[in-house]
């Protein structure tokens, strides 16, 4: 049975959203791009010396592209956290020597040969330290993610997809509602020691809020820690898993009806008022 067509808010940075948007359109959904994080390169002009390492680990498309641009010295074997990261490496002529079945740092560490040798983890500032701690890896920060608050608030939609912990925290910060979703300030994030800023949401009271879909357990944990409920979590933590989670969530989203009926996919958009 085909999934019910719904309006899906995509919170990925615009430069990383194209493939997800294409997949959603192919399913009959209406994606609405609303980036909640942006990428800031770090040390962009400086080379990353990979000489002497046995492995370099990358855990995102952004990290893979930055490594390809900045690596100096003979590139050792490269481990990618998942198929999307491996595909980005391939765009730059690099074949991933290791792609784990489970697209998490834990899955990557479990799949690593032992002894691992000398390992460099090239990733985001503030990244989880599982690879560093378990493999004794060196770390270099290639970029950081920072919140990107949409000027008009969150657009109307039946479903919102979060694909990173930073996007989940940003959503909780702008979509402050009772218990983390709907109208009152979200609870304070204990790790940050500060209350998320309260912004009146552009959509849905708590009784008809958009369905929240998460790419995996780390993103879900960050969402819940910030007071944001997660309705559906992907079973595999990559694009295919995220799209499958959207399919599972679409019926719930259509029933919940957070998006106004006249604005749903397949219905004519309301006429613009005359100037």
Cα separation, 216 vs 104, in Å, equals 9
0.85 exceeded by pTM: no
Mean pLDDT by 10 residues, the chain (275 residues): 82 92 96 95 93 97 96 97 95 98 94 97 96 98 92 90 94 64 34 30 51 94 94 92 94 73 46 33
- For the domain bounded by 42-145, which CATH number is listed? 3.40.50.10090
Strand-pair partners of 8: 31, 159
Cα separation, 95 vs 97, in Å, equals 6
Strands 138-147 and 37-41, sheet pairing: antiparallel
pLDDT in the model for residue 114: 95
Cα separation, 46 vs 64, in Å, equals 16
Virtual torsion, Cα 230, 218, 238, 18, nearest 10 deg: 70
Strand-pair partners of 124: 143
Q: Given the structure tokens 């009271």, which residue do they identify? A: 205
User: Three-class SS string for the chain?
Assistant: CCCCCCEEEECCCHHHCHHHHHHHHHCCCEEEECCCEEEEECCCCCCEECCCCCEEEECCHHHHHHHHHHEECCCCEEEECCHHHHHHHHHCCCCCCECCCCCCHHHHHHHCCCCCCCEEEEEECCCCCHHHHHHCCEEEEEEEEEECCCCCCCCCCCEEEECCHHHHHHHHHHCCCHHHCCCCCCCCECCCCECCCCCCCCCCCHHHCCEEEECCHHHHHHHHHCCCCCCEECCCCCHHHHHHHHHHHHHHHHHHCCCCHHHCCCCCCCCCCCC
Query: Which tokens go with 10?
Result: 């995509």
Cα separation, 158 vs 86, in Å, equals 32
pLDDT in the model for residue 251: 86
The residues spanned by each domain of the chain are 7-36+148-263, 42-145
Are 7-36+148-263 and 42-145 the same fold in CATH? Answer: yes
Instruction: Write the pLDDT tens digit of every residue in 242-260.
Output: 999 999 999 888 887 656 5
Nearest to 195 by CA among 206, 184, 182, 205: 184
User: Three-class SS string for 214-271?
Assistant: ECCHHHHHHHHHCCCCCCEECCCCCHHHHHHHHHHHHHHHHHHCCCCHHHCCCCCCCC
pLDDT in the model for residue 59: 96
pLDDT in the model for residue 174: 82
Cα separation, 54 vs 272, in Å, equals 60
pLDDT in the model for residue 208: 64
Query: Which CATH architecture fits 7-36+148-263?
Result: 3-Layer(aba) Sandwich (3.40)
pLDDT in the model for residue 257: 64
Q: Between 239-256 and 18-26, two packed helices, what is the crossing angle to 10 degrees?
A: 50
Task: Centre a 10 Å sphere on the Cβ of residue 179 and count the other Cβ atoms it contains.
Answer: 12
pLDDT in the model for residue 229: 92
């Amino acid at each position: 049975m085909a999934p019910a067509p719904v309006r899906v808010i995509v919170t990925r940075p615009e430069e990383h959203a194209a493939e997800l948007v294409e997949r959603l359109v192919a399913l009959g959904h209406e994606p609405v791009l609303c980036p909640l994080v942006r990428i800031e390169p770090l040390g962009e002009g400086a080379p990353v010396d990979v000489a002497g390492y046995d492995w370099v680990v990358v855990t995102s498309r952004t990290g893979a592209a930055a490594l390809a641009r900045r690596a100096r010295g003979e590139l050792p074997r490269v481990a990618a956290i998942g198929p999307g990261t491996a595909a980005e490496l391939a765009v730059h002529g690099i074949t991933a020597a290791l792609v784990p079945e489970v697209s998490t740092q834990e899955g990557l560490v479990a799949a690593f040969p032992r002894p691992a040798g000398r390992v460099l983890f090239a990733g985001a500032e503030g990244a989880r330290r599982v690879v560093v701690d378990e493999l004794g890896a060196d770390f270099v920060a290639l970029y950081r993610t920072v919140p990107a608050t949409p000027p008009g608030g969150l657009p109307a939609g039946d479903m919102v997809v979060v694909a990173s912990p930073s996007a989940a925290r940003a959503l909780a910060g702008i979509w402050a509602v009772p218990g983390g979703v709907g109208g009152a300030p979200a609870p304070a994030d204990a790790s940050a020691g500060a209350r998320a800023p309260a912004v009146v949401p552009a959509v849905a009271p708590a009784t008809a809020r958009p369905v929240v879909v998460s790419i995996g357990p780390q993103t879900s944990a960050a969402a819940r820690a910030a007071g944001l409920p997660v309705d559906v979590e992907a079973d595999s933590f990559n694009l295919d898993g995220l799209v499958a989670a959207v399919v599972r969530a679409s019926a719930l989203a259509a029933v919940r009806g957070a998006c106004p009926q006249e604005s749903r996919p397949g219905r004519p958009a309301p006429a613009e008022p005359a100037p």
